[in-house]
Amino acid sequence: MSAQTAYFITGTDTEIGKTLTTSALLHALARTGVRAAGMKPLAAGAEMRDGVLRNDDVDAIACAANVALPLSLTTPYLLREPAAPHIAAALEGVRFDIDHILACYRQVAAAADAVVVEGVGGFCVPLTEQLDTADLAQQLALPVIMVVGLRLGCISHALLTAEAIAARGLRLAGWVANAVDPQMRFQAENVDTLRTRLAAPLLGVIPRLPVVSASAAASYLDCSSLPNWPVAGPAASSTPFSPEAKEV
């Protein structure tokens, strides 16, 4: 049996909150009582810790999921160099194989009720001479959630990313605004502009968090409009959870 609920997380750039959003979605899914697994198929920027190659994003996603799976499945390509994936892969003599990633995804989906897959960088980051992350998203064919980093220029970045998603025949199922620049002026106005121009629901606005955590970020999201979002059952945690998106 394969997961009934699955999403692909992309962003308007790198370092704009994809991992935080992925972790928040996993936390929210787990709160409904389903078995939620996370994937970051490609991660660049890892270091040895206690004899194990670790990446902060990969670790955060694993902590937010309630299904523990081997790293070889959830992150089949873990690279040391903190660089664009095709550059890091060339330095380490690695060649990305999308078919291998798809095979790993199928195994993850078979072990969970819900899967959240985080892409790397922006939507069109190169993987090889011919392939990019948009090709991976297209092959996975999952509903896409776009994370918009709130900073100067985010409107154009978001609209261009949405166009690229549509050009691949994919559904933009929702978007999340994440406050990455504390000095940004007119945040609310930028969000309102995107709300009127993007043909997908705003799932929430995540402000600058005093303590960054999946649970804190999840409290600012309302995921109920997402396709196949599960309804909380008796196995869900009894801790209250408000799905209402809060404005910054």
Residue 126 DSSP label: B
Q: How far is Cα 116 from Cα 125, in angstroms, rounded to an integer?
A: 19
Q: Which of 18, 27, 40, 151 is catalytic?
A: 40
Q: How far is Cα 34 from Cα 91, in angstroms, rounded to an integer?
A: 40
Q: How far is Cα 26 from Cα 80, in angstroms, rounded to an integer?
A: 25
At 200, give phi and psi (nearest 5°).
Answer: -160, 150
Q: How far is Cα 139 from Cα 167, in angstroms, rounded to an integer?
A: 14
Tokens encoding 112: 């969970």
Helix (H) or strand (E) segment spanning residue 163: helix 154-167
Please say if 18 is a catalytic residue.
Answer: no
Catalytic residue ranges: 40
